[in-house]
Structure 1
């Protein structure tokens, strides 16, 4: 039997929820709805959704706070829906753990494509063993990446990452000491070829370092900034 993805749509506008639900159900997704941030957070904590479409501006609790609180417990993929196209709002969303964003007004077809792309990316990170590349576990000093289990450990302690954070770390770690420009990372990790905010990369690297640093300062230092160029994963000789 087909495993249908479960999607939570969170928006205080009935019209937008109905529109998104109609288009997503045509793609055979299972849809649930919430019209405020409080209900959305409770639902997202209680149930494991494959993707959450989360409106930024809502009564009671806005999308930023929902995302921030949810990230304390789960790494569910999140696409932020916002009527504000300013850079500061986008960056703020990425800083609290949003995986993608769509600015209103949007095309429902674009939302469907973004959802499918995020599902594909999160599936790749969960099932990398199907690609039959190298070994199942990548081991570095202070850091271990278990591809099959989609698990990262620093100094033997598990580190909880969002799908995008994991994918960024895995991409960098797969080519140690190779420098990647931000534009390349945006294309390869976010699939943004002709558009995208380069600060998206910076905010995710910052969050990734912060999470690793809580467990292992040495592991966090393996993600190195190459000023004026981008980032690389540096393996210590020790």
Structure 2
């Protein structure tokens, strides 16, 4: 039985989501706000989190950032605002999927089940050895410590998803990837949303590496997607 946390300040929505999840065989704990949520996640390590963006006090995006600093559990964000930037920012900060209100609870349950199955498959797979730091251009990346450092400089300040994209490109230099492939590789999930989230993520990562003089570039492959290559030195 999977344990799922549902966080939403709307009692009716919280109750509806919880009822559908319980009917599907999940154990559900619901919260009307984010107060104390981070500590509760640390204590109980749920299998999935459903998180509303707009809440009084600490909001969903702030909670997402805090939780992603120590956990990679599946997170679905929901929002009544329906703004594209909410979706882009949520996916960039590390949520696995995004649903705009109103949505059908069965769709949410289906997406939750798919993500939990994927996580279980990874847990049952043969564990990989710790990977050493990766070097590309003048940048050193540590997958274990999730750090990216330019030679003789401070650590790059990257969001959860920016780091994942950077690491993927560093591991696969010069290989072109379509937006759909990047979603599958970087999100590790068959995201059903807009592929433009990839363009926004690449744009922000490009800006950060250019500002810091990182020795490789993310190039556009016109009509296809993107690739990364070390700059000649």
TM-score norm. by structure 1 comes to 0.68
Rounded Cα–Cα distance in structure 2 between residues aligned with 1:127 and 1:175: 26
Report the secondary structure of 1:129's partner residue: coil
Q: Deviations over 1:120-169 (max 9, x none)?
A: 33344444428x9xx885885455768xxxx86879xxxx996x778767
Report the secondary structure of 2:46's partner residue: coil
Q: Unpaired segments of 5 or more residues in structure 1?
A: none
Tell me the equivalent position of 1:66.
Answer: 63
Rounded Cα–Cα distance in structure 2 between residues aligned with 1:113 and 1:165: 27
CA contact (8 A) 1:223 1:231 kept: no
Rounded Cα–Cα distance in structure 2 between residues aligned with 1:177 and 1:103: 36
Rounded Cα–Cα distance in structure 1 between residues aligned with 2:217 and 2:112: 29
Rounded Cα–Cα distance in structure 2 between residues aligned with 1:6 and 1:80: 17
Tell me the equivalent position of 1:39.
Answer: 36
Question: What displacement does 1:70 show?
Answer: 2.2
Rounded Cα–Cα distance in structure 2 between residues aligned with 1:179 and 1:113: 32
Question: What displacement does 1:223 show?
Answer: 7.7
Report the secondary structure of 1:64's partner residue: helix
The equivalent position to 1:232 in structure 2, one of 215, 227, 230, is 227
Tell me the equivalent position of 2:4.
Answer: 7
Tell me the equivalent position of 1:17.
Answer: 14
Please, which moves more after superposition, 8-17 or 200-209? 200-209
Distance 1:166 1:50, change over 3 A: farther
Distance 1:231 1:119, change over 3 A: farther
Question: What displacement does 1:183 show?
Answer: 3.2
Please, which moves more after superposition, 87-96 or 135-144? 135-144
CA contact (8 A) 1:186 1:196 kept: no
Q: How does 1:158-169 map to 2 (within 5 A)?
A: none
Report the secondary structure of 2:88's partner residue: helix
Tell me the equivalent position of 2:152.
Answer: none
CA root-mean-square deviation: 4.0
Question: What displacement does 1:98 show?
Answer: 1.8
